[in-house]
Amino acid sequence: MQSKVKIVGLDCPNCAISLQKELNKIDGVANAQIDFIKNSLVFDSENPEKALKDIKLLTKKLEPRAKITEGEKENKNKLNLLIDVAFLLVGVALGIVLFLCNMPVWLYWSLYTISALLLGWKTYLKAFRLLLKGIINENLLITISVIGASVISEHMEGLMVIALYTTGKIFENLAVNRSRRSIESLVRLQPEYANILVDGQEKKVKPEEVAIGNIIFVHAGEKVPLDGIILRGNVLVDNQSLTGESVPVQRGEGEEILSGGIVLDGTLEIKTTSEYKDSTVSKIMNLVENASENKSKTETFISKITRWYTLGVVVVALIVLGIVWIVTKDFQLALYRGLIFLVVSCPCAFAISVPLSYFSGLGNASKHGMLIKGSNFLDACAGLNKIAFDKTGTLTTGQFEIKKVQSFGGLNEEEIIYLSALGEQNSLHPLAKAITNSCKRKLQQVDNVHEIAGAGIEYSYNNDSYFVGRKDKNLKTTCIELYKNDIKIGQIELSDTVKESSKSACRGLKEMGIKTLLLSGDNSESVEKVAKEIGVDEAKSNLLPQDKYDYIKQCQEKGEKIGYVGDGINDAPSLTLASVGFSMGINGSPASIEASDVVIVDDNPEKIMSAIKISKYTRKIVWENIILSALVKIVVLSLGAAGVTGMLVAVFADVGVTLLAVLNSMRALKYKRFDKSTKKIKE
């Protein structure tokens, strides 16, 4: 059984990695994962209550200031920050006094010790606690550096190292917390209550308590708590948190409305069409909450390497010490050079900037209505060179209308529609919905219903066998055929319209060097018409779901990175197989949402292009941080080993590059270059 809780108070990603390793050693705890950026802890256990109790005990022992909580305690975090700042200021003040004033040796060492403890007590304590568990991390590197500087009488440098390190950690935490708050504000969609009538009076209840078919009221300034149909009212709705569109939309009687939007004026009376757990806002919250569980190869590699990196640094520092000692015959100088190596090699810049970059990119995509299920899929988007689209409901509106009804057995139009609707009444396909919505008679239940994949539905009615779907693959229009006892008795022709955004989406993808393709089960004439209107590079018609799947597989065997965009149940296999699967619409088929890697909330194909641009920008930032951190460390390490730079430059390099990497990572969250005319994301 999986459990998820908040864990707050961790100061660095390496602390999270070390704690996670120890938590997984607890009996009854498996697959414990700490997400430093999201302050979350996930673990598996057959006895969650006992496991959580053991986790809290071990966490308190290894990380005294970390807390397991149901919700983040902002006030406690602020208090901890104020304590850290107060200790830092007092420690620095004592250091200045030591530097400026003459005093007895006993007083000097007393104040020096007090100053060093105030500046770094938390670092030393963590280093000691983790060392007892056999864990070596950056806290130990800094502790050794301060002790070493004291031993070789570089007292001021020792204090400066811990003062600058602690200052850097404070600013680093402020930057990370700011990023956390920015991202959390993007997904803070969850409505707190729903208004229902009880004995003629409006009453606020939890959204989870509202059933399908209940009537709710939403007033100006309130969030829509559940999906539904508007019974009364005409208002402007702000859907920016859902779709990323800043312009409010008009919603009126008879229209569908999604949960999570904010009513800007007036009052709506809504009949709910889903329970809260199945509502749009709940689906979005779940997708965003679980996104960080799927990590990219780069993020996973950085996470794994930091476990051994610090131990490697200590070993290399000893080697540097030995070489310098042998060459110079000066142990104090050799120790000083080794300490420089320890300080500059702290892995925090790598460990925090990479996951923060991906987290920011995922948050930015969510803000603009693209729910990417993990940094691995964010990375995969950047590598796509071909995009295959389904047609109906993806590039077209999926809102079909009946153009023509033909009868071949003496039945009238109403009877053809009724018999077809009997078989289609439980189908989610857009053609089926168009037929059932056009039927004016009350539909009865039929027997022996059997779906034939990619063809249609068989059923029994009044002792006769019927088939509604498509058998004749040579028909050149979008239509549904009706058979009675294997004899064709009717045909319904339908029409669909192309989304305006489909044209600009294909055009934008081509400009990015990505080939576009249309894969459809419809007849060649309708597919070619849509392909020409939209401007895709290639189109294939009369395809069964298996044919689409096979085509994607062939592309991958050629080494192509192909994405697939669809919205129906029959798209699920292709969505799963593709390098990246894009499902259209948060209220689309549950199977397609589950199978996809990216969910486009508002059915807008242009968001495919936007997701790829955000992914490329995020990956660029990730590699900027890795290269910058590595380059600075290599240069300072080389200069330090050669005696050109001292320990202060080393700590400036470590703290400075970490802060730069964190600030650079936040650019992925703020990336939103828009074209002034179209308001679409640009590179």
Please, what is the angle between helix 606-641 and helix 348-367, to 10°?
Answer: 170
Please list, in sequence order, all residues whose beta carbon lies within 8 angstroms of the beta carbon of residue 94, skipping any fewer than 6 positions away.
Answer: 111, 114, 115, 118
CA-nearest of 279, 284, 258, 298 to 373 is 284
Taking the CA atoms of 528, 530, 531 and 535 in sequence, report the sign of the dihedral they define.
positive
- Per annotation, catalytic residue among 11, 84, 390, 496: 390
Cα–Cα separations (whole angstroms), residue 431 to 239, 331, 412, 453, 493: 28, 83, 20, 15, 10
Please list, in sequence order, all residues whose beta carbon lies within 8 angstroms of the beta carbon of residue 290, skipping any fewer than 6 positions away.
Answer: 373
Question: In the structure encoding, which two tokens stand for residue 514, read together?
Answer: 């990505």
Please, what is the angle between helix 647-665 and helix 606-641, to 10°?
Answer: 180
Per the DSSP assignment, residues forming a β-bridge with 396 are 498
Half-sphere exposure of 434 (CA within 13 A, CB side): 21
Please list, in sequence order, all residues whose beta carbon lies within 8 angstroms of the beta carbon of residue 595, skipping any fewer than 6 positions away.
Answer: 571, 572, 573, 575, 576, 581, 583
SS (H, E, C) 402-462: EEEEEECCCCCHHHHHHHHHHHHCCCCCHHHHHHHHHCCCCCCCCEEEEEECCCEEEEEEC
Core vs surface per residue 54-75: b (16+ CB within 10 A) or e: bbbebbeebbebbbbeeebeee
In the 8-state DSSP scheme, what is residue 681?
A: B
C-alpha–C-alpha distance, residues 682 and 609, integer Å:
9
Instruction: Clarify whether 550 is annotated catalytic.
Output: no
Please list, in sequence order, all residues whose beta carbon lies within 8 angstroms of the beta carbon of residue 201, skipping any fewer than 6 positions away.
Answer: none
Element (H, E) at 80: helix 74-100
C-alpha–C-alpha distance, residues 342 and 336, integer Å:
10
C-alpha–C-alpha distance, residues 610 and 508, integer Å:
9
C-alpha–C-alpha distance, residues 464 and 244, integer Å:
51
Q: Which amino acid does the sequence have at 192?
A: E
Spatial contact of 235 and 265, defined as CB atoms under 8 Å apart: yes
Spatial contact of 303 and 34, defined as CB atoms under 8 Å apart: no
Q: Which residues are catalytic?
A: 390
